[in-house]
Structure 1
Amino acid sequence: MKHRRNLKTIQQQNIFAAIIRQFLGYQNSNNAIIYPPTNVRVQATSNTSAVVQWDLDSDRNVDGFVIRYIHEPISGQRDNERWKTITIMNPSARHLHISQLTANKPYAFCVLAIRQNRQGACSDPPITIDRLQATHMVSNLVIVWKTSNSVMLRWVYNGPQPIGFYVNQTGRKDYLDQNLQLKGMISPEFRQDLDGHQREYLWTTLRPYMEYTFHVGVRELPPIGREYWPRQVIVRTDPTGPPFVDVPEFITSNHATTALIRLKCASEEYGPISHYWLIVLPGNFTHDDVLNLDSTSLQKSTTMMRPNQNKNYYGKTGKKVRKANKEREYRRRYMHEPLALRGAYIAAGIPVHEMQQMQRNNDLFTLGDGRMYDGYDNWPLDSNTKYRLLMRAFARDDISTNPDHPFEFHAPIQEPLAKRYSDSMLSEPFSTKIAAHVRDVKTSNLWLIAPLVAISIIAIIVGMLVIWWLRCNHRSNRHKTPRHGSISKIALAGNTIPSETSKLLVSGDVYGRHIVNPYDQMNGNGGCAIDSGMDMYPLHQSHMSNATYNALPVPMSILPSSGGAVGGHSLTHLPIPISELAAHIDKLKMNNNALFSQEYESIETGQHFTWENSSRPINKMKNRYANVVAYDHSRVILSTIDNIDGSDYINANYIDGYEKPKAYIATQGPLPETFADFWRMVWEENTVTIVMLTKLEERSRIKCNQYWPTRGSSHYGHIQVALLDTLELAHYTIRTFRLQHRCGGKIREIRHLQYTAWPDHGVPDHPTPFLMFLKRVKTLNRPDAGPVISHCSAGIGRTGAFIVIDCMLERLRYENTVDIYGCVTALRSQRSYMVQTDDQYIFIHDAVLDAVQSGSTEVPASKLYTHVQALMQIQPIDQVSAMELEFRHLATMKMSNSRCSVANLSINRPKNRVINMVPYDSSRVILRPIPGEEGSNYINASWIDGYRQRGAYIATQSPMPHTVNDFWRMIWEHESSIIVMLVRTTEISRDKCHEYWPAELGAQFGYLVVEPIAEYNMSQYVLREFRITDTESGQTKTLRHFQYVEWPDHCPPKSAELFIDFIHQVHRTKTQFGVDGPITVHCSTGAGRTGVFIALSVIIDRMKLEHVIDVFTTVKLLRTERQNMVQDKEQYHFCYQAALEFLATYDNPYQMS
């Protein structure tokens, strides 16, 4: 019976469709010229509305469409008049929403095309719908809350299951740019697929003050996969301060108390601007001094000033402030004392309309004219004082906020608030007596001009002759020494053991080339250093520096010559032998890096290349920075999509490598508008490794938008990106993505490595972590893969440093020289301004030198036993083991940024047990200062990074009677819940540690009360539990104290296995109780045994994950954070012994938790 009912229903529908065709008078003529649309779909969106969708073949040219619909057709009657029509004269239209229909009635729909005022046939058969009722539709789609870069959506769905949801968004905005030109921005469509159980979604990585249209729809699960019509909601994100504020420019000073300043408007891309502040600062202020300068404090500092106080302060104490500059900088950086704002004030408040009028008229602002601007006094300047300027631009409050509901859309309190202002960088220091001084010089020195001109001409002629002689002298040696532009000698190769260790250990590569410097000769194992005067191994002629291969897409002749004028002298930049590299760097660093800066400034910028594609109006919005462009000759050209103009453009350039063209792609941090382009580039270039060298936000500024899904998968254009795994380590994060093209094809897996330890300002203190990161990149990148894509924010600074270091290390495998100057020059011929600052240029040298001096001591875990046996062999020249030579080599390494100024202050010296076991200023643990107590923020303790986490440990000395309070204060303030003690209170009749914990009853240490809870005596250690209470706040926490009691007085532990068990127990306890704070480790000095505990913790963690071991680099890294970590050769040997024991004892050590 059921089958008959279904058949009857089908027959009724066929009769219904036949009646409709009869009423419409269909003529199925094969000669029809105007073909009807195809794939017509109808969906009820409510009881009285429906949406009609259709497709049209791409080769059909039409002028518009007609949609016809009818309800309840009467059988046997020709009632064409009852059919209603709606005409759309838009050839790109593909849907129509029809409202005011009769509720709960059957309807039929068809669509026909219009061309040249002629109508074609209607789509056949007509689409019928028995009843207007929304089924596969979400309801009550609302905005829950929003910020400047995120929107929380929520909806209701009670329809059929199982289903999924899809969410997509588009955005647009109009704004005034910094040139007061009206600009428009349209964000492409982005999509996110969700599970059917979700009823809300937080969309992040949005742009500030942009109007977004969100659609939430229902999708059927595969294999059907139909997508239903979505609901729509429109919202504008919150405004923030502008993306960039120009630095106020000092023009001239015509009077001793005034200066003429050029001010520029900021772009309103992130929201309309209400007003500006022009802020005056003393000339000795730095960028760090004004970072996050509080507006309220600045206003308070301004209102406290008086005209006579202003003159008195700068006139009488200006010299004193300048003399105290070093002391103030020291206290700010190392003592972390708050900076007084004395001398900083708001000179003028300028409404936005006045600022715009000033810029349109090209007017200058007179600083110091004594007038009042928007309530702020523009005090006269002092000619004997140097000043710096800063401009602050304020965003206008969101005008879209409903006054009747002021808290509508407000984000939860845990969401960070966007800054409503942005600051410019500081101007260069200036003084109002510059102009007078220049006039005096012109008057008094007029008689010197003619002799100076003559001397200059003679010097130029002599310099030209010297350069000519040098070039002639070296012309015959070009085949021996590659010139700096030989980028053809730099490439990525050598990945022969991708699952094991660094490729610098092997003696050959995948191309059969013999490696000159496998680096193991350079770490103390193999005796003396390599003599750069002879070739250790012959190189095949095709791989010599004079090979005919030319990877540059431009002639080599356009690169600058090796000679250049620097500092008034003629310089040549030849490759540096590795035996001379350390002395060469020391020379350049003399006089506060003066020669380094001069050499860097002499490098050709490469600005004579064209960048027409970057300058096209259709592509400008795809550039993160207006002045960072992609050269035309080396840009990455994407495939064109649907003949859309500009769809082949992305701000990215190919960079050549060692004997490998297009080894890298240097690009900017993707923008929301370029996410799809970025992933399309990854797909089309067959890239398997992405290197990211920036955080998403640094110093409250967006550096890169998150272009990958936080969880699950997202569609970016035609590419679906799914996040498979995330591994967060101390210095970098590795993400694994699965890529699939919508058009089908092979599924690809790529690795995304983000270096997270690059500081927001400047360069890393030490190159070792960066070199470890670079090794990991090379290990994970397959030899047959496409270019390594590297980006920071602009894709020129850190990206340039990464590529140059990688190139130089690869070159060192085949040659005994480095050519950093030439490599940077060559990179700049392929992308503008590569290696952006002289600090980055110096960091490159330090990194290469560190690699040369340290070598590659990384060993596969499977080969550790053989490696240790080799290290134990006595070296014939030195008559000591190679392991001892390796340990001695640690002492020869120079530690940059190793100042210990705070520890050596007279107020702090009594707090140190040993004079040479004190913390570096850069890594010391800082306590909250106690008012009125000088030096109360100091304790002899250092932050130490673990393998998976920054600051995972605190290494400190044993407390002394007068530092016990500081010790417990450190434990509380830095939320350390585990203490590891590796010493007994007395050893060989010497006091090694004061008993700083209460044994039976509670004791008070400052404002903290420590009470014993329990004590457990194990075979190797004692575990104590304490309750700590803050008497001021009443808060309490539990602390666990592990004391290892089996460490002998004069040697390492007898059993490496038992010590490893102890290490595991400590870390297992931290995991078991969900403790987030650092583990505090101490012995007597906080260096020897403490270093062994932390070193083995790092070594074991790394072996579990990477299956490699590198004792030398681990200890070296610890010593960059605290002096003398792993203090003697016996402790160093014990680290190797414990690693071997770890591998031998456990059946599956890599699976241990």
Structure 2
Amino acid sequence: MTNYSTDVGLDGCLSIPCTESSHTGLYQLVAVNPAGRAERQVTLFVRKEEQPTQETTENNQVLLSPVPVLDFEEYVASGHANDNAIFQEQFDVVDEDPDHPMTIGTDPDAILLNRFANITVYDDNRIVLMPIDGNSDCQRDYINACYIDGYKHRKKFIATQGPLVNTVVDFWRLVWQERPPTIVMLTDVKEKKKVKCYKYWPDSGTRSFGPFRVTITEQQRLVDYTTRNLLLELKGRSERALSVTQLHYMAWPEHGVPTEPTSLLAFHRRLKKLHQFPKRPILVHCSAGVGRTGTLITIDCVLEQLLKERLVDVAGTIKLLRTQRMKMVQNLEQFIFIHDAILEELVCGETQIDASGFTAAMDDLSQQHILTNTTGFEKQFKALSKLSPKPQNKPRKSNWRKNRNSVFLQSLDGRATELENEVVFVNGYKQKKAFIVAQSPSHSSARDFWKMVYDMKCGVIVNLNTLEEITEEVFHQYWPDESGVMKVGEFLVDSLQVEQLPSFCIRSFSVVPEKVSNRLAVFSHNCVRPPSQGRPSKYSRSTSPAGLRMDSAPTSNPSSTPSLR
């Protein structure tokens, strides 16, 4: 390096022409003076002699330059401008794998072990499986898996494809050999009837995969991901069983990226808390092991970098990842999603509060900051306003398929009709589409409202308006008076009982379309006291969530019966 030391530019770039394509790529170097007291990070570009020279290199360097944390919000906004033009330009520079030899993974014997023929491993960074004596199906050394460095941890990750039927034994050999305490799965087994990954664990109890025995000991399912504790044993051996935790993220759609990065960031925090001391690598896979896998690993590396350096370098991180595994971060959507995720983490941070410290946290958030004259609650709400889409940016009716949470009515001819008013599904803590959030129906939309209640089998309606607010402009009474029957379109709504409580009343209805015998029992909870300055005047047992008797709806399958609010 001393021969080239005078060529280091003011921007910290060093460009060296070479003749061997295997040496080309982008490298991050740290230069330290002989006394060891000062160091400087240098970006090294190595290119072929016949490749475009200084001008192209300088242009690319501008596109790939790290961004100071304080400038990142403005940087992301400019990247989204003009239909993501700058992001597209950046990704075009990033979207080129280095020319590394890949002879082993493309060998005829190995190519059938790749999920996709065009996604394999570099010869110099593949994980070599060791044979297991006495097992004929554990002799080959090839698996589509690579070591991946973290921000400052060598081999922090193993990136691999989702197992195939003919590679599931190799997958467990990989786990047994590398002993990762955590497996991160970023795909469903099937997505829209297409197999994305062979199921390599049992639903319950124990299942064998070749010479390996896998036992599931505990499982916890939340709305976006499932945690499974697994025990791995090698049959006929005295070695102690290996305990592995699988974190299975299930909120990634088949095409594209998650609508918002919030749930993936929460998933990543769960991973960090579970795997705080990376003495052994974290095994990450999706289907091919490059797109979603590369996205999560990039987010992890960039978040570590911004904590240490106060810089964000998404493009540079991906370039480095691609020197270890091809096609990491596979498309422009994933590239943009990473930027949005980093921005959300910077703006919001972690807002989860342990139950034991909840009271103290509420007191802290209520305090007014001396310099800004705002409370913690105001600061958080302002952050939400920054990241929430503006009303004019929401999908229009002509574009309804982009809004995955819209609620649709089923007509007699089988066609789906979107409700006229804003009506969306909202997830609960453990249940997808646990709630339907809707506007109060008007006189003209009351029929659609009751059809939605009937079609979706909503057992509970929570009405947060008060009787004093009944006007055609604000609130329409869509239910019958006590002991009465109301006809709304083709629906007969029969009032069965009214229970009056201090702050709200509970009405029970029977809802049935004309000429149909199947009746739906519905409980409706209505506020009685008007709110004080936009919120209830005080919190009491009678207004608590438990008081709403959300479990009162007669249903045998709660997961298919959302509550309407």
The two structures have a TM-score, normalised by structure 2, of 0.85
Q: 1:543 to 1:930 in 2, by over 3 A?
A: farther
Q: 1:608 to 1:709 in 2, by over 3 A?
A: same
CA contact (8 A) 2:458 2:564 kept: no
CA contact (8 A) 1:622 1:651 kept: yes
Matches within 5 A, 1:695-1094: 695-742=188-235, 743-895=237-389, 899-900=393-394, 902=396, 921=403, 923-928=405-410, 937-987=419-469, 992-999=474-481, 1000-1046=483-529, 1048-1058=531-541, 1061-1063=544-546, 1065-1069=548-552, 1074-1082=557-565
**Aligned AA for 1:861?**
A
How many Å separate the matches in 2 of 1:873 and 1:633? 56
Aligned to 2:110, what secondary structure does the other structure show?
A: helix
Structure 2 partner of 1:421: none
Structure 2 partner of 1:472: 9
CA contact (8 A) 1:618 1:646 kept: no
CA contact (8 A) 2:60 2:93 kept: no
Give how far 1:729 is off. 1.7
Q: Highest relative contact order (Cα 8 Å, sep 6+), 1 or 2?
A: 2
How many Å separate the matches in 2 of 1:477 and 1:569? 13
Structure 1 partner of 2:99: 608
How many Å separate the matches in 1 of 2:191 and 2:117? 19
Aligned to 2:123, what secondary structure does the other structure show?
A: coil
Q: 1:862 to 1:1007 in 2, by over 3 A?
A: same
CA contact (8 A) 2:213 2:232 kept: yes
Deviations 1:991-1033, CA, capped at 9 Å, x for gaps:
7432211222322222222222222223443222222213254
Structure 1 partner of 2:109: 618
Aligned to 1:585, what secondary structure does the other structure show?
A: helix
Aligned to 2:156, what secondary structure does the other structure show?
A: strand
Aligned to 1:763, what secondary structure does the other structure show?
A: coil
Identity of aligned residues (%): 29
Aligned Cα RMSD in Å?
3.7
Matches within 5 A, 1:504-653: 546=41, 565=56, 571-603=62-94, 605-642=96-133, 647-653=140-146
Aligned to 1:751, what secondary structure does the other structure show?
A: strand
CA contact (8 A) 2:426 2:436 kept: yes
Matches within 5 A, 1:15-164: none
The count of aligned residue pairs is 538
Give how far 1:679 is off. 1.4
Give how far 1:696 is off. 1.6
Q: 1:949 to 1:1076 in 2, by over 3 A?
A: closer
How many Å separate the matches in 1 of 2:52 and 2:38? 23
Q: 1:821 to 1:1008 in 2, by over 3 A?
A: same
How many Å separate the matches in 2 of 1:1072 and 1:1047? 31
Aligned to 1:1010, what secondary structure does the other structure show?
A: strand
Q: 1:618 to 1:587 in 2, by over 3 A?
A: same
Aligned to 1:612, what secondary structure does the other structure show?
A: coil
Give how far 1:577 is off. 0.7
Higher helix proportion (structure 1 or 2): 2
Give how far 1:665 is off. 0.7
Aligned to 1:1027, what secondary structure does the other structure show?
A: strand
Q: Does 1:665 align with 2:207?
A: no
CA contact (8 A) 1:623 1:629 kept: yes
How many Å separate the matches in 2 of 1:634 and 1:564? 32
Give how far 1:969 is off. 1.1
Deviations 1:296-347, CA, capped at 9 Å, x for gaps:
xxxxxxxxxxxxxxxxxxxxxxxxxxxxxxxxxxxxxxxxxxxxxxxxxxxx
Deviations 1:224-272, CA, capped at 9 Å, x for gaps:
xxxxxxxxxxxxxxxxxxxxxxxxxxxxxxxxxxxxxxxxxxxxxxxxx
Aligned to 2:208, what secondary structure does the other structure show?
A: strand
Q: 1:601 to 1:686 in 2, by over 3 A?
A: same
Give how far 1:800 is off. 0.5
How many Å separate the matches in 1 of 2:70 and 2:322? 27
Structure 1 partner of 2:175: 682
How many Å separate the matches in 1 of 2:419 and 2:232? 51
CA contact (8 A) 1:930 1:937 kept: no
Deviations 1:454-480, CA, capped at 9 Å, x for gaps:
xxxxxxxxxxxxxxx9963324999xx
Structure 2 partner of 1:393: none
How many Å separate the matches in 1 of 2:151 and 2:523? 53
Give how far 1:860 is off. 2.4
Deviations 1:716-738, CA, capped at 9 Å, x for gaps:
23321111223222212222212
CA contact (8 A) 1:692 1:792 kept: yes
How many Å separate the matches in 1 of 2:551 and 2:53? 58
Structure 2 partner of 1:162: none
Deviations 1:528-553, CA, capped at 9 Å, x for gaps:
xxxxxxxxxxxxx8997649xx9xxx
Give how far 1:568 is off. 9.0
Deviations 1:145-177, CA, capped at 9 Å, x for gaps:
xxxxxxxxxxxxxxxxxxxxxxxxxxxxxxxxx
Deviations 1:105-147, CA, capped at 9 Å, x for gaps:
xxxxxxxxxxxxxxxxxxxxxxxxxxxxxxxxxxxxxxxxxxx
Unmatched tracts of structure 2, length 5 or more:
1-5, 16-24, 31-35
How many Å separate the matches in 2 of 1:934 and 1:826? 47
Deviations 1:1080-1129, CA, capped at 9 Å, x for gaps:
443xxxxxxxxxxxxxxxxxxxxxxxxxxxxxxxxxxxxxxxxxxxxxxx
CA contact (8 A) 1:903 1:938 kept: no
Q: Does 1:486 align with 2:28?
A: yes
How many Å separate the matches in 1 of 2:241 and 2:52? 47
CA contact (8 A) 2:64 2:316 kept: yes
Q: 1:1074 to 1:1064 in 2, by over 3 A?
A: farther
How many Å separate the matches in 1 of 2:274 and 2:510? 46
How many Å separate the matches in 2 of 1:985 and 1:763? 43
**Aligned AA for 2:264?**
F
**Aligned AA for 2:74?**
A
Deviations 1:8-34, CA, capped at 9 Å, x for gaps:
xxxxxxxxxxxxxxxxxxxxxxxxxxx
Structure 2 partner of 1:114: none
CA contact (8 A) 1:733 1:753 kept: yes
**Aligned AA for 2:168?**
F
**Aligned AA for 1:762?**
G
Aligned to 2:28, what secondary structure does the other structure show?
A: coil
How many Å separate the matches in 1 of 2:254 and 2:406? 19
Aligned to 1:895, what secondary structure does the other structure show?
A: coil
CA contact (8 A) 1:696 1:703 kept: yes
How many Å separate the matches in 2 of 1:476 and 1:757? 40
Deviations 1:182-234, CA, capped at 9 Å, x for gaps:
xxxxxxxxxxxxxxxxxxxxxxxxxxxxxxxxxxxxxxxxxxxxxxxxxxxxx
CA contact (8 A) 1:765 1:896 kept: no
Aligned to 1:472, what secondary structure does the other structure show?
A: coil
Give how far 1:979 is off. 0.8
Which of 168, 177, 187 is equivalent to 1:694? 187
Aligned to 1:589, what secondary structure does the other structure show?
A: helix
Q: 1:474 to 1:808 in 2, by over 3 A?
A: same
CA contact (8 A) 1:486 1:545 kept: no
